[in-house]
Amino acid sequence: MRRSSFLLLLSAAALHAHVVSMSTGELRVDGPTATFELRMPLYEVAHAAHPETELLAHIHFAGAKLTHSSCHVEDAAYVCRGEYEFARLPKDSLDVECTLYQVTVPNHVHLLTAMRGANTDQVVFDQRFPGGAVRFHPPSRAETIGRESAAGAARSLQSAAGVLFLIGLALAARSKTEAVTIAVVFLVAEWAARPLGPLLPVTLSVRFLEATLALTVAYLAVEVLLLPEGRSRWMIVAVLGLCHGLSFAGFPATYLSGASLVQAVVLVMLATGVLRMPRSWLRPAAALLLAAALGWFVLRLVLPS
């Protein structure tokens, strides 16, 4: 009963902790000029002291000068429009820097759509990836999928807590069948979490997000240590899947596709190694995982984001 209650509380905390703060932008380039429209939910604007000037000041287009700007409230959104002039005509690509996370919240994500004539490109920016380039030539479908999948794969392995939980999932598997079950439950939960993101407008700092994930890893390590014959590990695995799925809720589906592929490959390699190692090593390995997870949990609560 206590374990079920703990899992319920842990699940609720994880759901709220991984909702992505998000804004969208649309850039239209016409010769040496361009117009940009930024849309941000009103509750996000509360973090900015002077949104009428700060928001557009944190988006830079290479070689472009802001000549006019205006902001207003429109349908529960804060909308800013800017007009730009380029010193020279943009070529096939345009470098963009977006640091909106500095004036909103650390886990803010900005989805930029850029258009020039019939050509359209889309780029996602956040604290880990504040810079990128939009390209004004029609990318092939394979190129788009490959680029976005690679970005998602990179994001999935950048978190220390994320790597720890993959190790925890491998340690939790006691057979090949259970390893496959755990992997499937985790990946399905990640995808099931995508539609939940827009429904939970709660934003928390990056360090809180990783602290929550580290806590779930610690619980999984306790399961391995104290309940070696436990039959409900899939429950905590589902919670982990929801945590990570919600962290990708603001990104195109191809990002999660890349992340899922990398996670599956890493899980196969880790589980293969765990199943081949002497079983007497399992408890010491779980104890080390518990110590690492708790250490990361404490660090993320103490250190600044």
For residue 149, pLDDT over 60 is answered with: yes
CA-based R_g, the chain, Å: 22
Mean pLDDT of 145-150: 68
Side-chain-facing half-sphere of 62: CA atoms under 13 Å = 14
Say whether pLDDT at 15 is over 60.
no
Average of per-residue pLDDT across 276-295: 88
| Mean per-residue pLDDT over the chain, rounded | 79
What pLDDT is recorded for position 54?
92
Check residue 81 and give its pLDDT.
96
Residue 89: band (very low, low, confident or very high) from pLDDT cuts 50, 70, 90: confident
Ranges of each domain in the chain? 21-137, 156-302
Residue-level pLDDT at 39: 94
250 φ, ψ (degrees, to nearest 5): -85, 0
Length in residues, the chain: 305
pLDDT above 50 (res 11) = no
Q: How many CB atoms lie within 10 A of CB 225?
A: 17
| Mean pLDDT value of segment 269-295 | 88
Task: Name the range with the highest mean pLDDT among 2-16, 103-117, 152-166, 203-217.
Answer: 103-117
As a whole number of angstroms, the distance between CA 160 and CA 154 comes to 13
In this predicted structure, the answer to whether residue 304 has a pLDDT above a threshold of 70 is no
Does the pTM surpass 0.85? The reply is: no
Note the pLDDT tens digit of each residue in 116-139. Answer: 888 888 888 988 889 988 887 666
| Mean pLDDT on 263-287 | 88
- Higher pLDDT residue, 25 or 18? 25
Per-residue model confidence as pLDDT tens digits over 46-84: 878 889 999 999 999 999 999 999 999 988 889 999 999
pLDDT at 247 over 50: yes
Packed helices 2-17 and 233-247: angle between N→C axes, nearest 10 degrees: 10
- What is the percentage of the chain residues whose pLDDT exceeds 90? 19
Looking at residue 204, its pLDDT comes to 52
Greater pLDDT, 192 or 72: 72
pLDDT value at residue 18: 37
Given CA atoms 271, 272, 276, 277 in this order, what sign does their dihedral have? negative
- Give the E-state strand segments of the chain in sequence order: 21-30, 33-41, 59-61, 64-74, 77-86, 93-98, 108-116, 119-125, 131-135
